Amino acid sequence: DTAVSQTPKYLVTQMGNDKSIKCEQNLGHDTMYWYKQDSKKFLKIMFSYNNKELIINETVPNRFSPKSPDKAHLNLHINSLELGDSAVYFCASSWSIAGVPYEQYFGPGTRLTVT
Amino acid sequence: KNEVEQSPQNLTAQEGEFITINCSYSVGISALHWLQQHPGGGIVSLFMLSSGKKKHGRLIATINIQEKHSSLHITASHPRDSAVYICAGETSGSRLTFGEGTQLTVNP
């Protein structure tokens, strides 16, 4: 059983399109994250949800909108795709209790290519 | 300047060598994470530590809170250890700030 899964694994689309990436975790965790890994392989947090509530919202264009229908799912919708959005997007999940750090479990990543 | 700095950026070793990757951070953190990214792209959490030292098989991670420094050691390195190793500092709200990663290549 895959702990954190993402679909699709690869996504190739044209500039201006709208696309979504889905993430699901079956670990029972209460917190989920979206990270972006750029062409230089540098990872950066985008969003974090705890029990369906947005708790981290980094400086990300508002073309990116996360949605958490329940605590096992965190989807990422991107409007009006731009060339610079090409990257690998990773979903992750963990427990989160105030002041207590927990290991994060990562999905396999979604490679988005905007042409 | 990144809040989390790793060194070296690239490291090539011969099989069997002892390997050390260093991580320094400039902010207060609640924990330091070491991650491994395989050539296929998947990311695996190796360690999470707030103090002292942790060991798992041939991997050892240490942290010195006063010096804001952590090290990842690999003993008896093997070609299958070839990967990118990433350290990340955790701050409030489970926010991870990542280093730029160390590309390790272990030759047979």
- Give the pLDDT confidence score for residue B92 in this predicted structure: 78
Chain B partners of A108 at a C-beta cutoff of 8 Å? 41-42
Give CA–CA dist A46/A34, Å, rounded: 5
CB contact under 8 A, A43 and B44: no
Q: What is the pLDDT of residues B15-70, one digit of tens each?
A: 999 999 999 998 788 899 999 999 888 999 999 999 999 999 999 999 998 999 99
Chain A partners of B6 at a C-beta cutoff of 8 Å? none
Residue scoring higher pLDDT (A63 or A52)? A63
Q: 3-state class of B26 per DSSP?
A: coil
DSSP of B7-24: E-SEEEEETT--EEEEEE
Chain B partners of A32 at a C-beta cutoff of 8 Å? none
Average pLDDT over residues A82-88: 96
Q: Go through B14-32 and write b for each residue having 16 or more CB atoms within 10 A of its CB, e for each that does not.
A: eeeeebebebbbeeebbbb
Q: Which residue of B has its CA nearest to A110?
A: B41
CA distance A41 to chain B (A): 7
Average pLDDT over residues B83-96: 90
- Interchain CB contacts (distance < 8 Å): A and B: 60
The long-range contacts involving B15-19, CB below 8 angstroms and separated by at least 24 positions, are B15/B77, B15/B78, B15/B79, B15/B106, B15/B107, B15/B108, B16/B76, B16/B77, B17/B77, B17/B106, B18/B73, B18/B74, B18/B75, B18/B76, B18/B77, B19/B73, B19/B74, B19/B77, B19/B81, B19/B104, B19/B106
CB contact under 8 A, A101 and B90: yes
Residue scoring higher pLDDT (A71 or A22)? A22
